[in-house]
Amino acid sequence: MLATIRNNRKTWVGALVAIFCAFLMVSFGLDTYHHGSRQKPVATVNGTEITHREYSNQYERIASRFREQLGENFGLLQAQLNLKQQTLDFLINNQVINDFTKAAGLSAGVRQVEDKIKSYPYFSGGVTKSAYDNFLRATGLTGVQLEKVTKEEIVRDQIDKVFGDLATPTPDEIKAIFVADNTKIKLNYLTVKSSDFVSKVASDDADKLKTYFENNADRYRVAKQVNFNFLELPAASFKEMVSVTEEDLKLHYEQHQPEFTEPKRVQPKQIFFKVEAQDEKNPALPFLDQKEKKNAAQSELGSKEAQRARAEEVVKKLADGAKFEDLVRVYSEDSTTKEKGGDMGVLPYESLFPELRAEAVKLLEGEHSGVIESKLGLHVIFIEKIIDSKLRPFDEVKTQIEESIRMSEAPLYAGVEAESLASELSAGGKLTLQKIAADRNLKVAASNGLVALDKAPTELPNGLVAKVMELSTGDKRFIQLGDSTYLIEVLEAKDPYTPLLDEVRERVTKDYIDQQSRELARTLATDVLSQAKTKIDENPGEDKLKRTAALLQGLANEHKLEFKTSDAASKISPNAVPFTIPALRAQAFNLSETNPLIAEIGELSGSYYIASLAEKTPPVDAEFEKQRVQIEKSEGEKASNRLFEAMLANLKAESEIWINPEFLAEAN
C-alpha cells in the first residue's frame, strides 16, 4: 500500500504537519554522496557518522519546539537551554539505541509500519494519496525515510513495553504513594519581608557604594556588540555550476555499489512460545537492579520444559502436513504476528535474532525449522518467500547520485564566489552588498542595530552572530556555516567594557539597597528561627504542635511580623505560599506532631518564611480506587525511565563515540 501511494503522490502541501512532526520524528538527515573533498562529521558512534546536515536538521526541530512552547521568552532563555548540547546528545543517544536494537534483532514488519502510520493524528481522516503526499512534503522525508523512522519508533515502543513490564510497582507501593501524595496539611508561617528594611539601608555612603560596585563589576560589564548587514548566498543556487560528468557518475556508482544494493531479504512466519525469564545469574541486562527484575510478572509464562514439548508437537504436526497458519492460530503466543498468520514481514536476514538467522539461512521457500531457542523464548519458523539481493541499475540511481553530488559540492562553489566578492567589497570600489543582492534577486538583511551574543535576535541565522563577533568595524568578509554562505559587512563593532560608576549609578544604588535589605531580613529570620528551636525544646512534655503554633505567633507579635495559617495542600497540589517555596515544600510533608517545625528558612522574592505544621489529614480510602490505576501507570513510567536511562548509560559506556574537536570548539 505504501509503495502504491508513493508512486502516485500529488503536489499540494499540508500546512499543519510540521508542528506535529517536530514531536514525532527522530533525527533523520539525508545521506549525501560525496564528490571530491568532504566535511568531517560532527561525531561518530560505533563507526556511524553524524553529519552536519543531520545536526542542523535536528537543531532546528528542537529549536522550533522551544519557540512554540516559550514564544517571546525563547530569546531570553536560549542560552540556558543549551540547544547545541541537547542536539548533540539526542543524536548520539539515538544512534546508540539504533545500534542496540539492530544488534538485538529488533525490527518491525510492513503491516506494523502501515498500522503505525495510520495511527498518526494527521491521518485521522484516513491515509489517502493526497494526505500521504502532503505529510511527506511538509516533513521533508521520502516514503522510504518515513518507513525507516516509523520502524525505529515501533522498536522504541517495544523497548518501552519491556521496561514497563519490569518496572510495575507492587500493591503496597501503590497504596503508600497514594497516601503520601494525598495527605493534606496546613502550615502556620510568619514572613520577614526585605521591603520592610529598605528605609534602614544607608544608600548615601559613597565608599560602601563604590566598594559594592567594584566587587560586582562583572554584573555591569557590557559584552561586545556588533551592528552588521549580511547577504546569504544559498548553496542551492550554485549547484548547477558543479561540473558532473557521466564518468563521475559511473565512477561513484562503481565505488559505492553497496549503497545501491538491496540486501537479501526473507519473509518468515513464526509460532512463538513464551518461557520463564532467564536465570538471574546470567541477566540479559546485567546492570539492572535485581530487586526490580524480580517484580517482572512471570506467572503468565509457561515452564521451558512444558513449552518445548508444545513446540515439538508443532514441528511434528508440520511434518505430518498441517498448515502453518492453522497452527499459528492455536499455538502462537506473540499477539503481533499471531493476527497475521505468524507473518514477521519482509526483512533483511541481518535484522533477525542471531538464533533465528542461523536457522533461516539454511531453509528454502516453503520449509520450516525445528524448535529454535532465543532470549525471548522458543520459535518455530516457516519461510514464505526469499528475495535475493539486487544491485539497483545505474540508470535508476543516476539522477539521485548527480543531485547529491551537486548539493554536496555547491557550498564549495558558494564559498569561492563569496571569497571573491568579499575581496572586491573590501577593495573599496563601486561594488556594494546591495548591488550583489540585486544582481541575484536576493535581499540584504541586517542585525538592525548593535546586538550582543547573549541577546541575539532569534530571526538571525543560528551561529552567525558568534562568527561576526570575531570581526572589527569596517570588515567585509564571508562566513560559512554548515551548507550556508554569508557575505558580511560590519558597520560597527563595539568591544566589551566596564562602565564607570557614574554611568550606572542608579542601577548600582538600587542593587545595593536590595542586597542590604535582603541581608537584614535574612538575619532577622535566622534569629527568629533560632529562638523558636530553643524555646520548643524548653518544655518537652507539652503538646508540641500547639506550643509551636503559639510560639511562632508570639515571635511574630514581638517582631511585628505577619503570621498566617495556610490553606490545606497536598504533595500533588502545592498551590500557594508557603508550599511553592522549594526549601519549605521539601520538608513540609515529612512534618509530624512530634516534629512540627521546619528546620530552615525559606526564601521567595526577597521575603523569608518560617513555618510549622498546623494540622495533617490523611486521605480517605474511598479515593484510593479512583487513583490506583493512574498511580500504577505513572510510577511504572518513572521506574521504566530510570531503567532506560541506566541501559542507555551502559550502552554509551560500551560504545565507541568520537566528537569532532573542531565542532566542539565552534559550539563553545
pLDDT at 596: 94
Distances (CA, A) of 256 to 206, 519, 642: 75, 70, 42
| CATH architecture assigned to 264-388 | Roll (3.10)
**CA distance linking residue 169 with residue 452, whole number of Å:** 51
Helix (H, G, I), strand (E, B) or coil at 616: strand
Cβ pair 33, 404 in contact under 8 A: yes
Those residues with Cβ within 8 angstroms of residue 202's Cβ, 6 or more apart along the chain or in another chain:
208
Distances (CA, A) of 455 to 459, 462, 500: 12, 12, 22
**CA distance linking residue 598 with residue 285, whole number of Å:** 42
Domain residue ranges of the chain, discontinuous segments joined by +: 1-165, 166-176+623-667, 184-220+502-617, 225-244+395-494, 264-388
Cβ pair 350, 263 in contact under 8 A: yes
What cell was used for 35? Answer: 564528490
Cβ pair 639, 292 in contact under 8 A: yes
| pTM summary value | 0.49
Q: Which of 83, 77, 82 is nearest to 62 (CA)?
A: 83
Those residues with Cβ within 8 angstroms of residue 211's Cβ, 6 or more apart along the chain or in another chain:
none
**Ranges of the chain whose pLDDT falls below 70:** 1-39, 72, 76, 124-125, 137-141, 276-302, 540-542, 665-668
Question: Which residue has 537551554 as its cell numbers?
Answer: 81
Those residues with Cβ within 8 angstroms of residue 316's Cβ, 6 or more apart along the chain or in another chain:
none
pLDDT at 541: 64
Is residue 381 classed exposed, middle or buried when 0-12, 13-18 and 19+ CB atoms within 10 A define those classes?
A: buried
Q: How many CB atoms lie within 10 A of CB 177?
A: 18
pLDDT tens-place string over residues 9-46: 332 223 223 333 333 333 333 333 333 334 678 899 99
Furthest CA-CA distance within the chain? 104
Distances (CA, A) of 76 to 457, 496, 655: 10, 20, 36
Those residues with Cβ within 8 angstroms of residue 196's Cβ, 6 or more apart along the chain or in another chain:
521
**CA distance linking residue 446 with residue 444, whole number of Å:** 7
pLDDT at 289: 37
pLDDT at 224: 93
Those residues with Cβ within 8 angstroms of residue 122's Cβ, 6 or more apart along the chain or in another chain:
14, 16, 17, 20, 131, 135
**Beta-strand (E) ranges in 350-509?**
372-373, 377-387, 390-391, 445-446, 451-452, 476-481, 484-494
pLDDT at 540: 66
Q: Which helix (H) or strand (E) holds 214?
A: helix 206-215
What cell was used for 464? Answer: 552567525
Residues listed for the chain? 668
What cell was used for 391? Answer: 544491485
Q: Which helix (H) or strand (E) holds 640?
A: helix 624-654
pLDDT at 369: 94
DSSP state of 257: G
Helix (H, G, I), strand (E, B) or coil at 273: strand
Those residues with Cβ within 8 angstroms of residue 553's Cβ, 6 or more apart along the chain or in another chain:
188, 563
Q: How many CB atoms lie within 10 A of CB 269?
A: 21
What cell was used for 406? Answer: 551537486
**CA distance linking residue 452 with residue 469, whole number of Å:** 9
